[in-house]
Chains A and B, each alone.
Chain A
Amino acid sequence: MAVNENADRPKAVRLRGKDVNAESSLKWPELYRSGQRQELSSPLILISSLLYAVYSSLVFFFIPFGVFHNTAYDFQTMAVTVAMAATFTANVEISLVTRYWTRLNVAAVCVSVVMFFICSRITHSTSLFKASPGDYFFLGASNRAFIDPLVWLTALLTTWTAVLPSMTALAINVIFNMHDKHKVHSASSQPVELRSRLRRGASLRRSSYALSQGAGPGRLISSGTCIRSTVPTVDEQVTADNNPTDSQLQINMKNK
């Protein structure tokens, strides 16, 4: 589950992040440098995400284990504690990644937490139990767990411990990068003269994004015509003499 949550972080960034208009993109190229350098999907990032997921899993189990060891607490109370900690941790992680707090973002986080409590109360309720005793057997667990200070304190401690590496990384990031360099979007966007030094077809050093959005070969890339294998099949070899293949067309256009 921890791995799943970490995998959702890039998704969350895409959903919550703000898009940038053309003038701002030209003005601040460092915004898309991390994509060009593949910084977000490098092996180092993947391994550190995996290690972080393992760490959080261990925290989610062993802290409640230490608290409930040799006590009269039962399995369902421990389950509710771990679920509470996991919900809080997921929401904190998403909050750390969110850069733009619109009302929607605030509402999403609040609704997420509140829905956890509401859904727990519903699935642990008498009416659902009476409808299907074999499925809803957590009857009464949240009644006692949500008013027990020990459960809340354990969930709080587990959340903070699981979130600690992310918080530390954020703190170190803030300390080492002077924050005034990051006032990217607060400055009003002034009209920027669109002086592109790249002439069409002048050099092969264009980012793949730019290439895919440009005219000519751009249309071919965006429409996915080039995704087919360029190795001609038996049928295609017969007609190869008559029609130039797509890859040949592309090379011709590049060399203009």
Chain B
Amino acid sequence: MVKEEKEIANRPDNTAFTQQRLPAWQPMLSAGIVIPGFVLIGLAFIGIGVALFVTSRSITVLEIDYTGIEKDSPCYKCSDSDAKNCVCNLVFSIDSLFEGPVFFYYGLSNYFQNYRKYAASRDDEQLSGDLDAFTAPSDSCSPYNYNSNDKPIVPCGAIANSMFNDTFVLYRVVNGAKQLVPLDGKGIAWWTDYNVKFRNPSVTPLKNAFNNTVKPIFWPKPAYQLDTSDPANNGFINQDFLVWMRRAALPDFRKLYRRITDGDYAKGLPAGNYSLTIAYNYPVVSFDGRKKVVFSNVSWMGGKNEFLGIAYLVVGSLCVLMSMVMLIVYAKFKFPEED
């Protein structure tokens, strides 16, 4: 009586959802679907792999290591840690037209920008122009938040402190004379970094915002003097600073330095001899790091990337192979049954 009513009250509703009567599709897999499926996917992957490999092959890359560890390297004299304001000259030649637009990267290896403590060592509030954070940098920046005299460092943190400061000037050697190759440094950083993420404090002149603060210990000049000729490239929105602050994924990485797109070099770098003058300031020898310059052109898939093409080819071939094996196994398995 009462118990029955309780049981009826607890009974689930008689709808299609609660009684599991929903219309459903049940895939009926058979060997005739699975094996051709594997073959199709394998062939698709092989196709993508071939396209990627061919595209990657058509990209030209020129890498020159200039760390200066070897005695016969032009920058050997600069690799000494005591050398200050050292300048070295790299000479190289190009056999055929290096098609443009040519991208000029600097590369570092054995440099762990993805190390957790290093990666957390920044103050995003400071970098978005918050003046309160100028006087009191966040603790995540320590020990690069205050200097030995307890003055706040702006911009604080290890990432900002370790900013790459080698500079490069490229010349083309024509009949013994050096012609300057114009390098374009506009728009090398992300649009969102330049326009949203990093903001200069809204104080004019910019120098006044940095009163009672000091520059990072490793920097030669403070942030408001990063590019005195162009106020749109000064302070926190300096393009080289933004490129550096965008942390690299892996210990061997490249960062865009300049593009070669102007004037005579719009179609690319013509064949000939070139001379690269490097102001060697950044020390990497102490941690077995290497520095290099990289010239590259780009395609729809970015820079040269042979790994992806080869990986697709390998996985595609593996799938096709597996489907062959499964076909043989299926054939052998099926025929004894029919006998």
Contacts and interface: CB of A to CB of B under 8 A. Distances in A.
A153 B52 contact: yes
Given A75-B119, A170-B34, A139 B311 contact: no
B210 interface: no
A101 B308 contact: no
B322 interface: yes
Given A74-B249, A175-B34, A168 B308 contact: no
B247 A74 contact: yes
Contact of B191 (A140, A176, A185): A140
Contact of B311 (A66, A77, A144, A172): A66
Interface stretch (B149-157, B171-179, B223-231, B326-334): B326-334
B253 A175 contact: no
Given A68-B250, A100-B24, A104-B22, A129 B30 contact: no
A125 to B, nearest CB: 10
A83 to B, nearest CB: 13
Interface stretch (B3-11, B74-82, B295-303): B295-303
Contacts of A222: none
Interface in A1-45: 18-19
A175 B29 CA distance: 9
Interface string B21-32: 011111111110
A174 interface: yes
B248 interface: yes
B192 A100 contact: no
B253 A72 contact: yes
Given A71-B254, A157-B311, A174 B31 contact: yes
Contact of B31 (A72, A144, A175): A175
Contact of B192 (A139, A157, A186): A139
B218 interface: no
A133 B124 contact: yes
Interface residues of A, number: 55
A172 B330 CA distance: 9
A102 interface: yes
Contacts of B29: 170, 174, 179
A140 B190 contact: yes
Nearest to A156: B48
B35 to A, nearest CB: 7
A19 to B, nearest CB: 5
A224 interface: no
A148 interface: yes
B193 interface: yes
Contacts of B197: 129, 133, 137, 139-140
Contacts of B28: 179, 183
A171 interface: yes
B187 to A, nearest CB: 13
Contacts of A70: 107, 250, 252-254
Interface in B33-55: 33-35, 38, 41, 45, 48, 52
Nearest to B119: A75
Contacts of A140: 190-193, 196-197
A160 B250 CA distance: 23
Interface string A33-65: 000000000000000000000000000000101
B45 A73 contact: no
Given A140-B192, A150-B308, A161-B315, A186 B26 contact: yes
Nearest to A72: B254
B7 to A, nearest CB: 14
Q: Which of A65, A161, A175, A183 has the largest count of B CB atoms less than 10 A from its CB?
A: A175
B307 A157 contact: no
Contacts of A78: 249-250
A18 B22 CA distance: 10
B128 interface: yes
B192 A143 contact: yes
A14 to B, nearest CB: 13
B302 A174 contact: no
Contacts of A228: none
Nearest to B300: A149
Contacts of B138: 134
Contacts of B30: 174, 179
16 contacts: A69-B307, A70-B252, A71-B303, A72-B255, A74-B249, A75-B248, A99-B26, A100-B24, A102-B25, A104-B22, A126-B196, A137-B197, A140-B197, A148-B302, A160-B41, A179-B28
Given A72-B303, A73-B249, 7 more contacts: A66-B311, A99-B27, A143-B192, A153-B312, A164-B318, A171-B38, A174-B33
